[in-house]
Structure 1
């Protein structure tokens, strides 16, 4: 596994957040998915190493309530749009004027909000994300809230069971995770109009968790769609994901 440096910083509301970094060159910020973290999403399966080898400085935050970042139990720490706000503050704090930005699943949704609200990366990557994951997030988050609330009540075979096992493996703080989810809202479709930069929409061929990635690519002004092997859970373990991102960003 690639060795990364762990850096810590303090958000404007006083919450201590963390990011992992490796490599040198053009900066690319990669945001992980829900209940995951930077190490699992980007480091463990070689994606960060591939980007480092391609000449990138890879910056991988642990989102609020995840990984090595703070997990406060104060509802005031989770207003709507907090993850995009954290991202803006990180970009400003690192004085990044020229950078690429991408994310997987929740990280992709956060990227959509950040760009929609004014972030201007050179290139963007949306992984494991489709139109339904943006338009119908309130319904999707209900599934995750039910998984948290019924944590030990689900039997193998129930759709919530695998989600609970994943949360257990990641040692998720359920109080913090629930507060974060409570603040999530559906994305605004006019945010997509801001994606004038070249954008990669990359998704597993068996990943239908967030709807059609192809349809999402067709709704964006300047996007390409690249399928990779796997489901929503397994596609992040495949080398093809990192290869597709590195090839796109190096283009």
Structure 2
């Protein structure tokens, strides 16, 4: 099964790419930082698995990622711009009953949008822990430093693998730096509005964004699901897609 490419207007009219696969219940899938819909959801078969399970997979390339626009104008990067882009997608597609799934940055974006009033029926937060929502400052500084020292970073530097991923994904570093400054922290008390059934799915070797069990415990109606792998490694394994499918179809043990 192959994906089709569509386009939509994000916040402020920015042209953003939307990859579609399958037919059925709408499921928005948001990829991680410096990744893309192709790398996160399509390449490793997760989207095809979910489409076969009866979902229409709606997979945007986030602003400054993938095939979406990467403007250099600072005005194109207001606070929480990715959440604003997500709300624009839901409005333009006329979605009223849909599910939402994010991984890493996609999870942060999902939470910010729900805190801001978006109402998916079910929510999946992949590759995310409580500290990744409430304490973004340290991670933000790490990635901004990686962008700023891009040409200087050598093997053995803590930023080496981030820089290699940025290179492989052909990320526009000017746009990426602007985007990194738009992310807001979400204090634990704000999570009370996430009342929909939620799965926190994280690799057994992944603590890049903090403690997933603590995040699940902080949510009103959440389960913590463990899959094999590191933060980036679990994306390459079928277990991630299977866990998302089983939760959304109600076949997972709660």
Normalized against structure 2, the TM-score is what? Answer: 0.97
For 1:155, what is the secondary structure of its paired residue?
A: coil
Shift of 1:136: 1.1
Q: Is the 8 A contact 2:11 2:81 kept in 1?
A: no
Following superposition, the deviation at residue 12 of structure 1 comes to: 4.2
What runs of 5+ residues in structure 1 fail to find an aligned partner?
none
Equivalent in the alignment of 2:209: 210
Tell me if the contact between 2:31 and 2:37 (Cα under 8 Å) persists in the aligned partners: yes
Looking at structure 1, the residues matched to 30 and 11 of structure 2 have their Cα atoms a distance apart, in angstroms, of: 19
Q: Are 1:135 and 1:187, in contact at CA under 8 Å, matched by a contact in 2?
A: yes
1:102-145 Cα deviation digits (max 9, x unpaired)? 10000000111111111111100000000111111011110000
How far did residue 190 of structure 1 move? 3.4
Residue 59 of structure 1 aligns with which residue? 58
Q: Alpha-carbon deviation of 1:152? A: 1.9
Report the Cα distance in structure 2 between the residues aligned to 1:208 and 1:155, rounded to whole angstroms: 24
Question: Deviations for 1:176-220, whole angstroms, at most 9, x for unmatched residues?
Answer: 000000122212333311111110000000001000001100000
Cα distance in 2 between the residues matched to 1:116 and 1:227: 25
**d(CA) in 1 for partners of 2:101, 2:70:** 23
4+ residue runs over 4 A deviation:
none
How does the TM-score come out when normalised to structure 1?
A: 0.98
Is the CA contact 2:10–2:84 (under 8 Å) kept in the aligned structure 1?
Answer: no
Q: 1:177 aligned to 2:176?
A: yes
Q: What's the counterpart of residue 150 of structure 1?
A: 149
Q: Distance in 2 between matches of 1:11 and 1:233?
A: 27
RMSD value over aligned CA atoms?
A: 0.9
In the alignment of these two chains, the number of paired residues is: 250
Deviations 1:47-73 (A, max 9, x none): 001100100000001000000111000
CA distance in 2, matches of 1:164, 1:241: 25
Within 1, Cα distance between the matches of 2:10 and 2:154?
A: 39
* Runs (5+) with no aligned partner, structure 2: none
- Residue 135 of structure 2 corresponds to 136
What is the CA-CA distance between 1:151 and the residue it aligns to?
0.4
Q: Is the 8 A contact 1:116 1:194 kept in 2?
A: yes
